Structure 1
Amino acid sequence: MMSKKYILFLLLAPVVAIAQLKQATADSVVISNDYVKVVANLHSGKVHYRFTSGTVFENTVAYVQDVKSGLLLSTAFAGHQVTTDDISDPLGKGICLNLVHEDAGQPVRLTQYITVYEKQPFILLSTVATAREVGAMVETRNISPLTVLPAMQGKITTPGKNVLLTDYPFDNDNWVDVISRHWGPEAISGISYELASAYDEQTKNGFAAGSLVHDFWKTGISYGTGAFSNRIDSFIVYGGAATKDDPSKPDSYGGKDGTHDYVQHGTQMGASVASPLIYLSASPDVRNDLLQFGNTIKKIAGFSNWKQSAPFYWNSFGVEGVLGYEKVMMPVDVAKVSDFIHSMENFNKTTQPVLSIDSYDQNIYSTEVLQSINRYGKKKGQQLGFYFIPFVLWTWKNGINDATLNTGGNLRDVILLDDNGKYVPYKDGDWGAFPIDPTHPYTRNYIIGQLQKAKAIGAKFIKIDFLSAGALESSRRYDPQVRSGIQAYNYGMKMLRRLVDSILGPDIFITQAISPLFPNQYAHTRFLSTDVYSHLRNSQPGFPHYGSTCGSMISATHFWWTQGTLWPYTNMDVVVMKNFQKNKDLTAQEVKVRLFSMMTLGSILGDGTDYRNKEAAARARQFLNNAAICDFFSRPRAFTPLRFPVGNGQSQQLSFYLPGDTILVSAFNFDTEKPFTETFVQAELNWPDRAYSLHDLLTGQEIGKIEKGQPAFTVNVPVKDAVMLQLVPSEK
């Protein structure tokens, strides 16, 4: 029996159908639940998505761009027919509306699948293009299940007068930012990757749209607005995004936030081809839409659970250069780091610290050297971490043609190629990084060799880097069945994870450094920001113009929902107690702000400090050996943002809270001139109505009180500072 929450107008019999159609839907089929109404117009072929929260997608279409037949919009077909299927899957029970667009004059049939669940606030969208003739094929590198075009009278409206659109980069390389953008009266446009969202800055009413399956398509979301601040005029969610870096544009606005490709996206080919599966949700609080997006991916793709305490890791990259040639301290003085870490009692209470040797030259850090470090660390209750790059070879460009592989064969046969047969660079230069084919037997053998080395040195923690190279498009693959960059990357990551489990065992913690956001299920954490140096702002004199705490938080705040959904924890890279490599010294306040930022975004604890320095060691005893800090990092949890970053300016003022039995709040003021006053409201934080003391989490000191019945409390944050407070009940 059909749920009463659905209203379904179907063609049951000609007479009844016409009466119902005229009376209730005017040539339309409508499916609705408590959250959304889907209206499919059988005359035009357009679809409306009307959410009860007020967001409306009006006059949407679907399309496929066939390599031979060209672009086919769903509205270009003469006939539009509907059937429905009752469904029951891990996401719930519901109805799938099958909207078929067909025309005797077209070689392809286009079918939209729109799934509405009884009790879910989101809907799922996909499109399949099928050849009408038996034996014919469809081939595409551009297919969309959700397109809004001005030419089709399409538009998206969202409640509010101050709406922002959030644009997400493809990966976390080059210090690119997630950007929330205002518009009106000046228009904005761009391409977001795998996910896009929009929300009103005051109410947070908005929507999120993103891809749920990541085994073939790179999903782009091309958007454009007009003058109205709550209306999006163009919004195209499509499989087939492949963009080249553009040095004429700012890095986070089309310069380096794309897929870094030199070749078009690979084609999907068959009697039928399918678009990405798309999640679409709108609600009074976009944070719920984003969190539900992550949870939906978790149910569909799976999740790498971690049952032990979260690792604390010391990483050598904060001290050494990339390859260790300068020998600042490695490898001879690593014992001094090990001794110091062992001396911090609280740091060692909840987990086994990891000595993570990063980005090494294998002639310097041989298996024997790393084994000796592991033996020493074991005596101090520590584990060893291992670093390698699975899908890239660093080599001299002019030597590629003549280079051979230690597993046999030629290097030139493994590197990805563009359409002209030239090598695709990942990091270009005379000494460059060149992407290797994840499907080639050499790549598998290379990974096996690296993992055997990791096993030989007793590693329990693995950092894998430069993974985005494995997702680059190529005109050539060893396995011809693998036709796209993400398909190859997914192939490679699945292979890597299986090899880790078989060679090293299932208790190996895997963290991804530079990498695409998806697929996510093969690791335990991913860097939300890479190469962070712990200075306060990118604009800070004497420091790099990238890699600051503020810069890292701009992106990481927009990814708060990934902790617990995509990965057990996030990774915000390492904190340093004094200085990163040859950078200027940090103040103690900068160290505190950086540490609070990592806690707030659910990061595991990573440190990159040279502990031979007495001041650095003293700060570590203050910050990293703090009992409350260590307890939190043993089971990190991301706080919920109360204020999202707007743009990527360096004067952000941000606030967060962590719900639960013990409520924590944090607030950050990256402005250098204006103090920040934040009011935390009981109605949003939902603390029980009782009296509390407000305690500074770091010092344990009481800094204020909340009386019973008090609706809010205020926190003042000085410039260039941050606070983290705990609500402690006055009476148990």
Structure 2
Amino acid sequence: MPYGKNGRIEYHLQSGEFDLIADSGTIISGAYAVVKNRDAILNSKEYPTRKHSQTAIKDGFGVGQKHSIVLTRKGSPTLQQIFYVYPDREFFFTEVVVSGNSLKSNYMAPIVAEKADIGVRGDNRSLFVPFDNDAFVSYDSRPVQVGQSLTSSEVAAVYENYTRKGLIIGSVEHLEWKTGITTAGVGQQLTELKAWGGLSDEKITRDKIPHGSLSGKSIKSPRLFVGFFDDWRDGLEAYGKANRITEKPYVFNWDKPTPFGWNSWGAIKSKISFDKAVKVADFFADSLTGFRNDNTAYIDLDSFWDNFFSGGLNGDFSKLKEFADYCQKKGLQPGVYWAPFTDWGWKSRKVRKAEGGDYLFSDLWTKANGTYHDFDGGRALDPTHPGTKQRLTFAIKKLKECGFKMIKIDFLGHAAIESDGFYDRSVTTGMQAFRQGMEHLIDQLDGQMLIYAAISPNLAMGRYAHTRRIACDAWKTIKDTKYTLNGLTYGWWQTYVYNYIDADHIVFGEESEGANRARLTSGVITGTFITGDDYSVHGPWSVRARQLLQNRSILDLAKNGVAFKPVEGNSGKSAGELFVREIKGEWFLAVLNYDDHPKEYIIDLTRIGLDGSSEYLTSELFQHSTFTTTGTLRTSLPAGDAAIFKLVRK
């Protein structure tokens, strides 16, 4: 089964195993499929009869072939291993289907292998990708070595950092399954490779019970993307794009400019008030007139906007509407915040009625392992419960009537938790519940607002948000910058899953000018440009904002909105120091020093993707210095600082 320029899958009908051949070598050997049906384990190697057929296909990936291997065994359900291959794609898809009577499964693995070899020994890495961006979780590029097994969520990369050759395996379907990929081995060789639907792990997915089961006469695994690439970064970008093609966004496409704006959680937090919010709007309208994209900036109220009035969701929203109207009068766009699937008052012993209906909050709580799911201080609400939906409809209607043009939605992983049983009995997995809740939310928003997702699943959120935060909360320090850019180093490819990804609110505070530049750089090279200082009062941050947030070269770069990609992938749980992006024939290089001492950099232009023999006119966007570079770019940075270089071939 050939695919791409020189890749092929060799399926052995006698054994029920297949090999992946690419780059003149065998990358995966003896792979097979495993499916759990109730208490029985079905293994493609143990079926005596296998028949192959193929049909022509044409879909979002182009013209290709669908290869099906049907496996039968007397007294057992039928298995079907399916491969989708395309001559113009350097990857393929595979899935497994089980058919029969009274089937029930919470584990389906299209790929299980005891041998894989990427063909290069050196700085070999296996990448951990988190399920979400909660609890300050980090990506991790771990060395492949004896005694270490690594399970990644939804996608994994196994690569050698210097040559960049790598294997990418990941799910492109997230409506029913949570997918895990486990790798183990030493150096270039893996002794365990397993990719399956049914991942449930409290440390990864936050679940405290096993993955829910799917039932019926036919059950399908998640569809897996598989490819071996000369550059693992190209592979992850292809994977990101494949997600958006396979599961098209449910939300409307954002065709307006890259969002610029401000969010109140950066500095004001729970002390937000109507007066403070109005003063922030005044600051942007009067003192930051240059901080716009297409004459637009968003002024977004985060949590605690109910400080504006009493009564919570049942209160009088007139002050919120007054604020929204004031923003628009000032030429700004108003934004708001909500966490639709959490109950923050669950610790109260009072009997509380959920807003928008007659149900009690206690009726809405998601039940897991005989109790409730409490995380981040919030208790999960069942997304399928009519009371949750009524409350959501009630709240969104009031916010829409205020005239908000942006909404930040948060703690969305609470909607994806596996449950003892959902209100809607046809829903049996956390991802099915997540889909139902998120589709209801998008339906209620009805295209009125830019949708920004904060804490949420990395991949599954792609159908429902325009922009998504790449990591957990970050504020002003160089440590915050380093944490955020760990997410960009290994998750930049999500720029192709969403319209934009985001580095959280950019806060200057009273940090050094270098720390301010670094934090600003993290936003510019990630995607959207959202600030967060308390601009209702004067301070060093407002002085710095007038300077940095109106730097025309920086703003022009930020308007691009596409994430920079890392130069290296060997920083473990830390962040890369070099990030690069080509924009209309011009190259931009971000350099960051997270250390507490000055640092010298000698950067090989060929390593960042340029022609090492060409001469480049090089300018630094913060210092406005200009010089010529050939072969190597040499620079030094003070402790906790950053620089952004623009390189144009002469």
Q: TM-score, normalised by structure 1?
A: 0.83
> How big is each residue's C-alpha offset from its partner over 1:428-477, in whole Å with a ceiling of 9 and x where there is no partner?
xxxx4111111111122111122122122210010000000000011121
Provide the C-alpha distance between the structure 1 equivalents of 2:513 and 2:349, rounded to a whole number of angstroms.
47
**How much has 1:586 moved relative to structure 2?**
1.2
Equivalent residue in structure 2 for 1:276, among 216, 219, 222: 222
The match for 1:147 is 112
**How much has 1:607 moved relative to structure 2?**
2.8
The match for 1:330 is 273
Equivalent residue in structure 1 for 2:349, among 390, 395, 399: 399
Equivalent residue in structure 1 for 2:482, among 539, 547, 550: 550
Matched, 1:685 2:609: yes
Matched, 1:319 2:267: yes
Provide the C-alpha distance between the structure 2 equivalents of 1:282 and 1:494, rounded to a whole number of angstroms.
34
SS state of the match for residue 489, structure 1?
A: helix
Change in Cα spacing, 1:338 to 1:33, as seen in structure 2 (3 Å) is closer
Q: How does 1:131-530 map to 2 (within 5 A)?
A: 131=100, 136-149=101-114, 154-184=115-145, 186-225=146-185, 228-245=186-203, 258-303=204-249, 304-321=252-269, 324=270, 327=271, 330-342=273-285, 343-348=287-292, 350-360=294-304, 362=306, 364-365=308-309, 367-397=317-347, 399=349, 402-406=351-355, 407-420=357-370, 422-427=371-376, 432-501=377-446, 506-519=447-460, 520-530=462-472
The match for 1:572 is 503
CA contact (8 A) 2:31 2:111 kept: yes
The match for 2:313 is none
SS state of the match for residue 573, structure 1?
A: coil
**How much has 1:203 moved relative to structure 2?**
1.0
**Counterpart residue type for residue 314 of structure 1:** W
CA contact (8 A) 2:4 2:91 kept: no
SS state of the match for residue 306, structure 2?
A: coil
Provide the C-alpha distance between the structure 1 equivalents of 2:26 and 2:628, rounded to a whole number of angstroms.
40
**Counterpart residue type for residue 355 of structure 1:** I
Provide the C-alpha distance between the structure 2 equivalents of 1:399 and 1:475, rounded to a whole number of angstroms.
24
SS state of the match for residue 313, structure 1?
A: strand
Provide the C-alpha distance between the structure 2 equivalents of 1:532 and 1:53, rounded to a whole number of angstroms.
45
SS state of the match for residue 591, structure 1?
A: helix
> How big is each residue's C-alpha offset from its partner over 1:110-154, in whole Å with a ceiling of 9 and x where there is no partner?
1100122111100100000111xxxx22110001101113xxxx3
**How much has 1:267 moved relative to structure 2?**
0.6
Provide the C-alpha distance between the structure 1 equivalents of 2:200 and 2:48, rounded to a whole number of angstroms.
32
**How much has 1:167 moved relative to structure 2?**
0.7
**How much has 1:630 moved relative to structure 2?**
2.2
Structure with a larger share of its residues in strand? 2
Provide the C-alpha distance between the structure 1 equivalents of 2:191 and 2:633, rounded to a whole number of angstroms.
41
Q: TM-score, normalised by structure 2?
A: 0.93
Provide the C-alpha distance between the structure 1 equivalents of 2:179 and 2:298, rounded to a whole number of angstroms.
36
CA contact (8 A) 1:156 1:231 kept: yes
**How much has 1:99 moved relative to structure 2?**
1.7
Once the two structures are overlaid, the 10-residue window that deviates more, 464-473 or 612-621, is 612-621
Provide the C-alpha distance between the structure 1 equivalents of 2:67 and 2:209, rounded to a whole number of angstroms.
36
**How much has 1:54 moved relative to structure 2?**
4.5
Provide the C-alpha distance between the structure 2 equivalents of 1:598 and 1:53, rounded to a whole number of angstroms.
41
Change in Cα spacing, 1:41 to 1:390, as seen in structure 2 (3 Å) is same
The match for 2:50 is 80
Matched, 1:126 2:126: no
Matched, 1:560 2:500: no
CA contact (8 A) 1:663 1:726 kept: yes
> How big is each residue's C-alpha offset from its partner over 1:324-381, in whole Å with a ceiling of 9 and x where there is no partner?
3xx4x62322222222111222114633221111111625456122222223222321
Provide the C-alpha distance between the structure 2 equivalents of 1:688 and 1:712, rounded to a whole number of angstroms.
7
> How big is each residue's C-alpha offset from its partner over 1:279-299, in whole Å with a ceiling of 9 and x where there is no partner?
001111111111111111121
CA contact (8 A) 2:337 2:407 kept: yes
Matched, 1:722 2:642: yes
Change in Cα spacing, 1:628 to 1:659, as seen in structure 2 (3 Å) is closer
Change in Cα spacing, 1:364 to 1:553, as seen in structure 2 (3 Å) is same
Provide the C-alpha distance between the structure 1 equivalents of 2:121 and 2:448, rounded to a whole number of angstroms.
48
Provide the C-alpha distance between the structure 2 equivalents of 1:349 and 1:181, rounded to a whole number of angstroms.
39
Provide the C-alpha distance between the structure 2 equivalents of 1:49 and 1:729, rounded to a whole number of angstroms.
40
Equivalent residue in structure 2 for 1:623, among 548, 559, 569: 548
Change in Cα spacing, 1:95 to 1:358, as seen in structure 2 (3 Å) is same
CA RMSD of aligned residues (A): 2.2
**Counterpart residue type for residue 154 of structure 2:** E
Provide the C-alpha distance between the structure 2 equivalents of 1:313 and 1:166, rounded to a whole number of angstroms.
33
**Counterpart residue type for residue 46 of structure 1:** E
SS state of the match for residue 643, structure 1?
A: coil
Larger gyration radius, structure 1 or structure 2: 1
Aligned length: 639
**How much has 1:525 moved relative to structure 2?**
0.6
CA contact (8 A) 2:409 2:453 kept: yes
What fraction of aligned residue pairs are identical, expressed as a percent? 26
Greater relative contact order (Cα < 8 A, sep 6+): 2
Provide the C-alpha distance between the structure 1 equivalents of 2:592 and 2:65, rounded to a whole number of angstroms.
45
Change in Cα spacing, 1:616 to 1:157, as seen in structure 2 (3 Å) is closer
Unaligned runs of 5+ in 1: 1-29, 246-257, 538-547, 579-584
